Amino acid sequence: MHAAMIALSRTLAILGGVILSGMILMTCLSIAGRQLAALLNSAAVQDTMPALANAVLGWGIGRVFGDFEMIELGMAIAVFCFLPYCHITIGHARVNIFTSALPDRVNRWLRLLIEAAFVMTLVLIAWRLSVGMSNRLRTGQTTFLLEWPLWIPYAACLVAACAAVLVAAYMLGVRLAEAFGNRDIIGEEQEAEH
């Protein structure tokens, strides 16, 4: 079961990385295009080589149209794609000023409570994403510039959020077994401490 959850989480994290890499590339192209267009439109270039500058500008050199909308939508999807992997690898930051002095048994029960809260939070988020997606689908709402249907990124986020719920429910089961068995199955050694 653990291998399947890791595989699901890794697949989503890779997808999130591909989306994030695409956004980085698109942002770089947009900035470079914006700068090149400004240079080609400058008085110095227009005075010295107007035909070449206008020919290059005619290719459509400039910012990527709708870059801010694509960043907004892509970032939301990428964040939800990274969430299951962060959770199953115990990548969430924690502050253990007081809990480090507590016995292992108490810490296992605290981890169980935290997992339960995490599952409930993710279920709430997934539910609200489904409501938001249904509303966007029903109303036909689109982005302002690109006029992309908004239900599509909501659906992508919902799929990743449902995967996060599945992974969190699995981790809740692990924490239940740890608390009642009084032994670590997936310990804290991987957690980031701050």
Task: Work out the average pLDDT over 85-90.
Answer: 92
Average pLDDT for 86-99: 84
Query: 94 — phi, psi (to 5°)?
Result: -145, 155
CB atoms within 10 A of CB 164: 29
- Closest to 86 measured CA to CA, from 190, 193, 194: 190
More confident position, 156 or 184? 156
Distance of alpha carbon 79 from alpha carbon 106, whole angstroms = 32
Flag whether pLDDT at 54 surpasses 80: yes
pLDDT at 193: 44
Q: Looking at the predicted structure, is the pLDDT value of residue 100 above 90?
A: no
CA-nearest of 78, 72, 76 to 146 is 72
Angle between helices 50-58 and 2-40 (to 10 degrees): 150
Question: How many percent of the chain have pLDDT more than 90?
Answer: 80
Count of domains observed in the chain: 1
Tens of pLDDT along 7-35? 999 999 999 999 999 999 999 999 999 99
| pLDDT at residue 189, rounded to an integer | 55
The parent domain of residue 145 ranges over 2-193
Q: Would you state the pLDDT for residue 187?
A: 66
Quote the tokens at residue 72. 């907004």
Average pLDDT, the chain: 92
